Chains A and B, each alone.
Chain A
Amino acid sequence: MTHPEGPVVHDPHTLPVNDNVNPYAFCVDLDGQWFLQKGKMIAYYGQVDFHAIGHGPLDHLVAANFHSPLHATAWVVAQGRGKMLLADRAYDINSYDLDDGNLTIRSGNLLAFQPGLALKQSIIPGFLTLIGTGKFVAASNGAVHFVEPPIRVDPQALVGWADCPSPCHHYDHAYLRGVLGGIRALTGIGGASGEEHQFEFTGSGQVLLQSTEELMGATDTGGVPATAGPGVPGAGV
């Protein structure tokens, strides 16, 4: 049956190898293991098993590549051989290659990664860091743009950053100066433009931005363990 004017029909041989099917879906050529965020697999050909992270046959792999106990319930390991399609609420999806690098990304944006990468929880709450060599897949609300520091970005547009130092907060000081500014700063009365607070990046590297200021609904990242002790950001909140 052919559809001359119809949509493209994919089968296991015509699906792309570790590449996008369309801007909203990514095809993983699975031969071994991949880490996935729960519930992002939409379809697969072949033989694939999904294992929860915790206990199980993949303990060794998890120990080597997964260092984010706070996120453990949000991730699974796909194991087997076949073509697997990933998507997330029809958001834009892109894949990235890291070559002995590091990249920090908002936890809700990361969909999947190869075991060549190790996932660690960033000390910045809500962010994850990937270290090593391999491919990962991330979603964004609108297309992703790469920019180089020095740059100040809107907090809601930030997806992640690679190789450069972690950002710091930047407040538009001029706006909060003087008597009126003092009242604004103290009471919040007087109106805010919504743009007087940014994240500031310095150094050399790459900053990833999405093209909207609407955050993707992130999965609950959990808290820092209560035993973490003083000096650990986020502990005791």
Chain B
Amino acid sequence: MAIFRLQSSRVLAVDLDGEAVKAKKGAMVAYDGEMTFKKMTGGGEGLRGLVTRRITGEAMAVMEVRGRGTCWFADRATEINLVRLTGDKLHVEASNLLVTEPALRTGTSFTGLRGASQGNGLFTTTVEGTGQAAIMSDGPAIVLRVTQGTPLVVDPGAYVAHTGDLRQQLRSSVGLRTLIGEGSGESFQIHFEGEGLVYVQPSERNTIGGQI
């Protein structure tokens, strides 16, 4: 079984003993032992996955890393967060996904307007199954719990990922005042309701709605 450990907050070490992990293409920074790196077309989801990803724009350049030894991964010094899944589903942007265990299935799902407001397209990547995944964020991610009594509101630019049974809804408060240049800067927000965890980063991506 692949063992994920954070060498530091920005470098992930994965111990492999003959098995394989899926990693973002080009994210390997060092390894010892014997490793092979194989490009996986279409995120390793077969022909159907390849076509889906092409159509949805949720392109994911993935490689399969197989071998014995330790492989270190990092990407542009962004912070790395480990997520352990036990049968639940992780929603994350393809660009924020670093490494997944082979037992995890990846796919795409429709997110609706939220994706559009983030400038990330209308689709997001899902990771399902049991195992560990490493996701990236600009600054260490903060994990916020959502329960029935405590819904959460997140800025689209700070959203990284979420797990659990959550309903999300994009809300906007664009009014007449926004049009005359007096927007609040927080006009677009994602409301999360249900039970689950939301990962936010202490930084905002440039979004279409961010400055309104």
Q: Kindly name the residue among B81, B139, B204 whose own CB sees the greatest number of chain A CB atoms within 10 A.
A: B139
A22→B202 contact, CB < 8 A: yes
Known interface pairs A5-B84, A7-B81, A90-B138; A52-B164 also in contact (CB < 8 Å): no
Tell whether A11 is near chain B: CB-to-CB under 8 Å: yes
Pick the contact of A90: B86, B139, B198, B211 (CB < 8 A).
Answer: B139
Pick the contact of B153: A3, A9, A43, A52 (CB < 8 A).
Answer: A43
Pick the contact of B186: A6, A7, A24, A50 (CB < 8 A).
Answer: A50
Tell whether A44 is near chain B: CB-to-CB under 8 Å: yes
Contacts of B186 in A (CB 8 A): 38-39, 41, 50, 76
Q: Shortest beta-carbon distance, B99 to chain A, in Å?
A: 15
Pick the contact of B197: A9, A73, A87 (CB < 8 A).
Answer: A9
Q: Shortest beta-carbon distance, A51 to chain B, in Å?
A: 6
A50→B142 contact, CB < 8 A: no
Q: Shortest beta-carbon distance, B4 to chain A, in Å?
A: 9
B155→A43 contact, CB < 8 A: yes
The distance in angstroms between the C-alpha atoms of A134 and B82, with both chains bound, is 38
Tell whether A112 is near chain B: CB-to-CB under 8 Å: no
B177→A87 contact, CB < 8 A: no
| CB-contacts of A137-187 with B (<8 A) | none
| CB-contacts of A40-72 with B (<8 A) | 40-45, 48, 50-56
B202→A87 contact, CB < 8 A: yes
Known interface pairs A9-B197, A39-B185; A54-B177 also in contact (CB < 8 Å): yes
Q: Shortest beta-carbon distance, B88 to chain A, in Å?
A: 7
Tell whether A85 is near chain B: CB-to-CB under 8 Å: yes
A52→B184 contact, CB < 8 A: yes
Contacts of A56 in B (CB 8 A): 177
Tell whether B107 is near chain A: CB-to-CB under 8 Å: no
The distance in angstroms between the C-alpha atoms of A85 and B154, with both chains bound, is 9
Pick the contact of B140: A12, A22, A52, A85 (CB < 8 A).
Answer: A22
Q: Shortest beta-carbon distance, A57 to chain B, in Å?
A: 12
Q: Shortest beta-carbon distance, B92 to chain A, in Å?
A: 15
Tell whether A8 is near chain B: CB-to-CB under 8 Å: yes
A54→B182 contact, CB < 8 A: yes
The distance in angstroms between the C-alpha atoms of A42 and B184, with both chains bound, is 14
Contacts of A10 in B (CB 8 A): 142-145
A11→B147 contact, CB < 8 A: yes
Tell whether A131 is near chain B: CB-to-CB under 8 Å: no
Tell whether B108 is near chain A: CB-to-CB under 8 Å: no
Tell whether A117 is near chain B: CB-to-CB under 8 Å: no
Interface string of B151-192 (1 = CB under 8 A from A): 111110110000010000000010001000111111000000
Contacts of A50 in B (CB 8 A): 173, 184-186
Tell whether B49 is near chain A: CB-to-CB under 8 Å: no
Tell whether B150 is near chain A: CB-to-CB under 8 Å: yes
Q: Which residue of B lies closest to A74 (CB)?
A: B185
Q: Shortest beta-carbon distance, A82 to chain B, in Å?
A: 9
Q: Shortest beta-carbon distance, B199 to chain A, in Å?
A: 9
| CB-contacts of A195-209 with B (<8 A) | none
Pick the contact of A25: B142, B145, B173 (CB < 8 A).
Answer: B142
Pick the contact of B145: A11, A40, A52 (CB < 8 A).
Answer: A11
Interface string of B191-207 (1 = CB under 8 A from A): 00000011011111000
Which residues does B use to contact A, with CB under 8 Å?
81-84, 86, 88, 138-145, 147, 150-155, 157-158, 164, 173, 177, 181-186, 197-198, 200-204, 210-211
Which residues does A use to contact B, with CB under 8 Å?
1, 3, 5-12, 21-22, 24-25, 38-45, 48, 50-56, 73, 76, 85, 87-90, 93
Write 11 A-B pairs (CB below 8 A) sorted by A numbering. Answer: A7-B141, A10-B142, A24-B202, A25-B202, A38-B183, A42-B200, A44-B152, A45-B152, A52-B182, A54-B182, A73-B181
